[in-house]
Amino acid sequence: MTIREREPATALADAIARRIGPPRYKLWFDGRTLFRYDDGRLTVGVPNRHFEEWLHKTFRAEVAAAAAEVVGHAVEVRFVIDPELFQAARREQDSIQGAKSQASNHKPQKTEPPAAKPAPRAPEPKKAPRSRKKSEELEPTLFDAVRETKRTRRWHRLTDFVVGPCNRVAHASVLSVVEAPGDGANPLVIHGPVGTGKTHLLEGVYGGVRRARPGWRVCYVTSEDFTNRFVQAMRLGKLGAFRKFFRECDALLVDDLHFLARKRATQEEFLHTFNSLLADGRQMVLTCDCHPRLADDFTPELTDRLLGGAVWGLTPPDADTRLGILRAKSLPGAPLPDEVLKFLAAQLRGNVRELEGALHSVRHFSRVTGRGIDVPLVREALVELLRHAVRVVQLPDIDGAVCAVLRLETGALQSKGRAWAVSHPRMVAMYLARKHTSASYSDIGAHFGGRNHSTAVAAEKKVRLWLQDDAELALGQRRVRVREIVERVERDLFR
């Protein structure tokens, strides 16, 4: 019996969609599968081999559970290529190719000017684009749009990057990659909060390597782009071309790797690409929002590979670096007075984008009011921004930030529990409370579970020793450096 009747089909679709989510059902099943049920077996027809492998690997358990719910007993599920769906997919692809060919054939042809009139000197003909190899014939929308974006976008340069104590080591690392890609730490992982310069450094590597080695194919991609192309390649049955595109590049630069969190299939594909490039000695540079050890949503295998190279962090700019950034950003117009820049550097505590936004606001306010730029005008133009620039940290803020970073339940640090999984994070929170608040030891102990003065004193001393010895804490299945925990909590508190 073919499941085409409205009630069984609707019930099975609803049951599958409840398990995998309506968006994934619409992407992989709706209009792309055909169900047949015979003698306790559900056969799922698919349009091609890639669909067959993907659905069997990813959704077989969910489809079996949904079928058992609809039928009322356990059902064997198998995936096969259905001729009807195969032909439909082929016709759809042929029609798309035909439409593109027809459009290219109807381009207006240029006519030669009359012989009697002297024709202006024609520009030299452009070189014909290099033809793609057969294995690279992926659907044009998959890579061509990205290549066009790379030709038109404005790339940051490493020469424009303002170096300070907050980013000096990371900057030196990317310079070494540009000078000798593949010879140093591989992969190079740059992590930090938003607005600290991760993308600037990555784009600088892209431009620097391309200039130093014109014959290399350097691939710059965001994790979102990688995911979208992977999904599209799966749907079009072009995984071979997808893999060739990434695994045969000379250097791979990936921005916002944390976008792959909880995308298990994409992480597995990226891991295979990672291993292939690493085995060939190809350079990889990646950025993410936190240290790989703190990224719980990465697979253990991916985390292990990321830790195999060099991992450097970026922190929000300090006062001297903020002043350097403001001076660099104020040059493309009328330079601002140095006293104004020093005032902004001292008052603002935000990231690079906030500093740049403050400069735009000051210049715009000056044009609208017709006044010169000085400190009183800056105070008036940025009254709201300056009011919230310095954040007052309270004990509940530190409590919540530590719980968020270490994935603890709200209120866990105030419990009476003495297990290491709670007591050690509580000690870190007490240390940060002494560092960033004016609360007394007694107040800190009282907040974190009604403990006494001496407990808070001992916790602060213990954490100082951990930081001095660069110690690690065991948190479930992970071991995390105390210094990394402290830095991550502080970034969350003051971003």
Domain architecture of the chain: domains with CATH: 6-85 (3.30.300.180), 143-313 (3.40.50.300), 319-387 (1.10.8.60), 395-494 (1.10.1750.10)
The number of C-alpha atoms within 13 Å of 6 and in the hemisphere containing its C-beta is 0
Per cent of the chain over pLDDT 90 is: 18
In the predicted structure, residue 388 carries a pLDDT above the cut 50: yes
User: Looking at 329-333, 409-413, 470-474, which range is the least confident one?
Assistant: 329-333
Alpha helices in 332-382 (DSSP H): 338-347, 352-369, 375-381
How high is the pLDDT of residue 6? 44
Nearest-CA neighbor of 217 among 105, 275, 136? 136
Amino acid at 91: R
How high is the pLDDT of residue 489? 87
Cis previous bond, 187, omega within 30: yes
Placement of tokens 């409590």 in the chain = 399
- Provide the terminal-to-terminal Cα distance of the chain, rounded to the nearest Å: 60
Amino acid at 417: G
Q: What tens digit of pLDDT does each residue of 81-137 get?
A: 888 888 787 777 666 566 555 555 554 444 444 444 444 444 444 434 444 443 334
Which has more confidence, 12 or 393?
12
| Average pLDDT of the chain, as a whole number | 81
The Cα–Cα gap between 36 and 180 comes to 58
Q: Which residues contact 482 (CB under 8 A, 6 or more apart)?
A: 428, 463, 466, 467, 470, 471, 472, 473
Provide the β-strand partners of residue 478. 475
CB 138 within 8 A of CB 233: yes
The Cα–Cα gap between 268 and 159 comes to 36
Q: What tens digit of pLDDT does each residue of 237-280 get?
A: 889 999 999 999 999 999 999 888 878 889 999 999 999 999 99
How high is the pLDDT of residue 392? 64
Q: What tens digit of pLDDT does each residue of 154-208 get?
A: 788 888 899 988 889 999 999 999 998 888 889 999 998 888 899 999 999 999 9
The pair of structure tokens assigned to 43 is: 């056969």
In the predicted model, what is the mean pLDDT of residues 442-460?
87
The Cα–Cα gap between 422 and 36 comes to 53
In the predicted structure, residue 41 carries a pLDDT above the cut 70: yes
How high is the pLDDT of residue 471? 87
Residue 473's pLDDT band (cuts 50, 70, 90): confident
Amino acid at 258: H
CB 178 within 8 A of CB 158: yes
How high is the pLDDT of residue 104? 52
Amino acid at 134: K
How high is the pLDDT of residue 177? 92
Amino acid at 42: L
CA dihedral (143, 146, 148, 152) in degrees, to 10, reads: -170
In the predicted structure, residue 410 carries a pLDDT above the cut 90: no
The pair of structure tokens assigned to 445 is: 């102990």
The Cα–Cα gap between 70 and 364 comes to 64
The number of C-alpha atoms within 13 Å of 266 and in the hemisphere containing its C-beta is 21
* pTM for this entry: 0.58
Placement of tokens 């999984």 in the chain = 421
How high is the pLDDT of residue 5? 42
Contacts for 70-75: CB closer than 8 Å, 24+ residues apart = 70/8, 70/11, 70/12, 70/15, 71/37, 73/40, 74/40, 75/37, 75/40, 75/41, 75/42
Strands of 193-247 (E only): list them.
218-222
Cβ neighbours of 184 (radius 10 Å): 14
Amino acid at 393: V
In the predicted structure, residue 342 carries a pLDDT above the cut 50: yes
Q: Which residues contact 368 (CB under 8 A, 6 or more apart)?
A: none
In the predicted structure, residue 234 carries a pLDDT above the cut 80: yes
Placement of tokens 């730490």 in the chain = 185
How high is the pLDDT of residue 135? 37
Which has more confidence, 389 or 262?
262
Could you give phi then psi for residue 85, rounded to 5 degrees?
Answer: -70, -35
Could you give phi then psi for residue 450, rounded to 5 degrees?
Answer: 70, 35
Could you give phi then psi for residue 312, rounded to 5 degrees?
Answer: -125, 145
How high is the pLDDT of residue 292? 85
Burial 264-276 (b: 16+ CB within 10 A, else e): eebbebbbebbee
